[in-house]
Amino acid sequence: MLPLSALLLGLLALALAWPVPAVLSRARWPRRDPVAALVCWQAIGLAGGLSIIGALLVHGLSPWGGSLPEAWWAWAQHWFTGELPAQPVRGDHWVAQTLAAVLALELLGVLALALVRTARTRARHRALLELLVHRGVDEVPGVEARVLDSPVPAAFCIPGARPLLVLSSGMVEEFAADELAAVVAHERAHLAERHHLLLLPFVAWREALPVLPAADRAHDAVRDLVEMRADDVALRSVPGPGPRRVLARAIVAAAEGGAPTGALAAGGGVLTARVTRLLDPPEPLPRWARPLAVGAAVTLVLAPTLLLLAPALV
């Protein structure tokens, strides 16, 4: 007999693995409030992992006790005492335990690996940049903007303890001053709000779960939402009467000057979405919508947590 809490966790995991991400990634409201949507995606990722691993654990350990903490303790002791629980331990219990351990190790391991790998790539880029770039553009207080000699208009930042904001000389020469300010404001928003940390788990889990379409969807949605969020933040510090148009012009100019890619370029479509959003801003969500979304996200994470910690319902 499957414990009810394992069943509920399994159902939650199933919902978070397919229908919920599918609905959220197709919804129109996230572009009206990227912050609320980002909170929801983080909750989906966390709750999804908790519920699938939790479901396997609760089922695997069910012969040892009703609630997970109690069962875990009894299970840990049985390795020393050799006592098997009163209820028979079947093969499927062992399989569930093993799967839970493998999945937990894989998700955490891949995340740790992604952390190490991105840190190493960043360090290599930084070492190279420190030799290549020269101090430039001083109108950006706080963050040092450096100039890299290259005709291709590009801007990027390397997050970290000493963030590095780099503009290509092509961009500095070709772009109008207000467009440049908009680009820098956008990049500074990424740094200030640590967007790389929001994206990293989804990069890692997409690699860990290549068969799961939801992992792909979640990654792409989060990647696009942080861009929209950075646009929103940038608008506050772009000078002039029409900051939206200035930022839109900068995006289009960067797209025109950049190296074109094949028709299947990753992220195709987000540029159009960003520019449309800037030129023809959608109605902001009503005041109650953000608390509602955040409340839903908190509930989503609390539900599997409570199911795991509370004594089994049956």
Note the residues at the interface with another protein (CB under 8 A). 114, 117-118, 121-122, 125, 127-132, 148-150, 152, 154-159, 168, 183, 186-187, 190-191, 195-196, 199-200, 203, 206-207, 223, 226, 230, 245, 248-252, 254-256, 258-263, 265-269, 271-272, 275-276, 279-280
**What radius of gyration, in Å, describes the C-alpha atoms of the chain?**
24
C-beta separation of 139 from 160 below 8 A = no
100: tokens are: 């839970």
Structural tokens at position 286:
């009503």
Nearer to another protein among residue 42 and residue 62 (C-beta): 42
CA distance 229 to 35: 7
Measure the CA–CA gap between 270 and 161, rounded to whole angstroms. 29
* Residue with Cβ nearer another protein (178 or 187): 187
Q: How far is the CB of 153 from another protein (least distance, A)?
A: 9
> In terms of CB distance, is 7 or 270 closer to another protein?
270
Q: Contact at 8 Å (CB) between 21 and 217? A: yes
Cα–Cα distance between 44 and 77 in angstroms, integer? 34
Closest approach of Cβ 115 to another protein, in Å? 10
Nearer to another protein, 151 or 295 (CB): 151
Shortest distance, position 185 Cβ to another protein, whole Å: 11
**Closer to another protein by Cβ: residue 140 or 271:** 271
Task: For residue 231, give the 3-state DSSP assignment.
Answer: helix
Nearest CA among 243, 246, 227 for reference residue 235 = 243
Question: Cα(165)–Cα(173) distance, rounded to whole angstroms?
Answer: 17
- How many residues make up the chain in this entry? 314
CA–CA separation, 236 and 238 (whole Å):
6
Closest distance to another protein from the beta carbon of 34 (Å): 15
With tokens 């990049």, the residue in question is 187
Minimum CB–partner distance for residue 309 and another protein (Å): 32
**Which residue lies nearer to another protein by CB, 78 or 196?**
196
| Residue 86 or 263 having the CB closest to another protein | 263
**Min separation Cβ 192 and another protein, Å:** 11
> Minimum CB separation from another protein for residue 121, in Å?
5
Closest to 222 measured CA to CA, from 39, 90, 32: 39
Q: What is the closest distance, in whole angstroms, from the C-beta atom of residue 75 to another protein in the complex?
A: 37
Contact between 214 and 16 (Cβ < 8 Å): yes
Phi-psi region of 145 (alpha: psi -120 to 50; beta: other; left: phi over 0): beta
Exposure letters 54-80 (e unless 16+ CB within 10 A, then b): bbbbbbbbbbbbebbeebeebbeeeee
Nearer Cβ to another protein, position 271 or 301?
271
